[in-house]
Copies of this chain bind each other. A is one copy, B any other.
Amino acid sequence: MSHVVNAKATTESPMQELFAPIRAELVAVEQALRDELHSDAPFVDELLQYGCLLGGKRLRPALLLMTAKAVGTMTADHIKLAAVVEMIHTATLVHDDILDEADMRRHLATVNSRWDNQTSVLLGDYLFTHAFYLSSTLDSTYACRTIGEATNTVCEGELRQVGNRGNFGLTEAEYFRIIGAKTAALCACCCQLGAHYAGADEETVARLSQFGFDLGVAFQIADDVLDLVGDESDTGKSLGTDLEKQKATLPIIHMLSQVSGREKAQMLELLDTESPSTQTRSQLAEWLDRYQSIAYTQQVARDRAERARMALEPLPDSPARNVLEMITHFVVSRSH
């Protein structure tokens, strides 16, 4: 998940061009968000308007709607649920933006200049609770249960990640468990809801849920690579915020698994700082390059994306199905 909250709704990304088959539905989702998120208190209303714009890419609503289109009939419930998952995603973004005491000291300039921590907490809570309320207006408890479970899993994953700050002994298995919870669970939820409310049979719903999960895992691994190597190259020139946050991501876990003894001790010593120097960064980049840890991680992401793609094979050919397939390529080939 992004750690920087920006209003990016106006930029059209290559991914959004893929959304053509659901353009009308996405417009309806924007309208639903505006209809739901307003207040007669000007301060609250301004915040909610801002909240409408934060999510930006609308990836999660698109996944939900595209899945529906790929497996059955689109309904009014899908529009509601797409608004729900976007509210939840936005709530997590807003809450990601809350600053710690420690961050405050180090990065005073990053403090959200418009509002304070308390307001950010409450805006996120408002979005969470409104999302739950909206999902409870559907006929059965299915949506509430699926969304409640997925969002709780997201929080548990985020807490696990916080609990493993600075733990560079993190195993690959634990890394996968964390990203499966914090990122993939909500993607799985989107696809599951899209398929279920389109009238798909249980086996198809489960298949699409697994598709969403694998897609989310691939997306997060790719995101973790980008945090290390950014746009610039594959050699790790722009080591990013995960290191500052003392997060062990897959490239680092792989690098550490390739060595032992004194070199490993050196690596761990270099990683043990929240403000790595330029020298530290370039040393780490050199190691990542030497042990092909970026290439390894990119391959893992591609394999996972391919597993997602294969889950689509039994679906009938359709523009929506083709877009879902393209998304599996897109998430592991993007450069931002």
Interface residues, chain A, CB within 8 Å of chain B? 39, 41-44, 47, 91-92, 95, 98-102, 104, 111, 116-119, 121-126, 128-130, 132-141, 144-145, 147-149, 151-152, 154-156, 158-160, 162-164
CB distance from A207 to the nearest CB of B (A): 23
Indicate if the CB atoms of A145 and B137 lie closer than 8 Å. Answer: yes
CB distance from A111 to the nearest CB of B (A): 6
Indicate if the CB atoms of A122 and B158 lie closer than 8 Å. Answer: yes
> In the assembly, what is the distance between CA of A193 and CA of B24, in Å?
39
Indicate if the CB atoms of B117 and A101 lie closer than 8 Å. Answer: yes
20 A-B residue pairings within 8 Å (CB atoms)? A39-B156, A41-B156, A44-B163, A91-B125, A95-B122, A98-B118, A99-B101, A100-B117, A118-B162, A122-B158, A126-B155, A129-B155, A132-B132, A132-B144, A132-B147, A133-B145, A138-B141, A141-B141, A141-B144, A144-B144
> In the assembly, what is the distance between CA of A162 and CA of B141, in Å?
33
Q: Find the B residue at minimum CB distance from A141.
A: B136
Secondary structure of the A side of the interface?
helix
Instruction: Given the known inter-chain contacts A116-B102, A117-B101, A145-B133, please indicate yes or no for A122 contacting B152, CB distance below 8 A.
Output: no
CB distance from A311 to the nearest CB of B (A): 26
Residues of B within 8 A of A104 (CB): 101, 104
Indicate if the CB atoms of A140 and B141 lie closer than 8 Å. Answer: yes
Indicate if the CB atoms of B144 and A136 lie closer than 8 Å. Answer: yes
Residues of B within 8 A of A139 (CB): 141
> In the assembly, what is the distance between CA of A133 and CA of B136, in Å?
11
> In the assembly, what is the distance between CA of A299 and CA of B215, in Å?
61
Instruction: Given the known inter-chain contacts A99-B117, A101-B116, A144-B141, please indicate yes or no for A125 contacting B155, CB distance below 8 A.
Output: yes
Indicate if the CB atoms of A122 and B43 lie closer than 8 Å. Answer: no
> In the assembly, what is the distance between CA of A144 and CA of B47, in Å?
25
Indicate if the CB atoms of B111 and A129 lie closer than 8 Å. Answer: no
- A102, A121, A126, A135: which has the most chain B beta carbons within 10 Å? A121
Q: Find the B residue at minimum CB distance from A95.
A: B121
Indicate if the CB atoms of A162 and B101 lie closer than 8 Å. Answer: no
Residues of B within 8 A of A152 (CB): 126, 129-130, 132-133
Indicate if the CB atoms of A126 and B159 lie closer than 8 Å. Answer: yes
Indicate if the CB atoms of A117 and B117 lie closer than 8 Å. Answer: yes
> In the assembly, what is the distance between CA of A98 and CA of B118, in Å?
7
> In the assembly, what is the distance between CA of A304 and CA of B186, in Å?
44
CB distance from A169 to the nearest CB of B (A): 14
> In the assembly, what is the distance between CA of A159 and CA of B43, in Å?
8
Q: Find the B residue at minimum CB distance from A42.
A: B163
Instruction: Given the known inter-chain contacts A128-B129, A141-B138, A162-B118, please indicate yes or no for A156 contacting B44, CB distance below 8 A.
Output: yes
Indicate if the CB atoms of B41 and A119 lie closer than 8 Å. Answer: no
Residues of B within 8 A of A130 (CB): 148, 152
Q: Please give 19 more A-B residue pairs, beta carbons under 8 A apart, in addition to A122-B155, A137-B141, A139-B141.
A: A41-B156, A41-B160, A44-B156, A91-B125, A95-B122, A98-B118, A100-B118, A101-B111, A102-B116, A104-B104, A117-B117, A119-B162, A122-B158, A126-B156, A129-B151, A129-B152, A135-B144, A135-B148, A138-B141
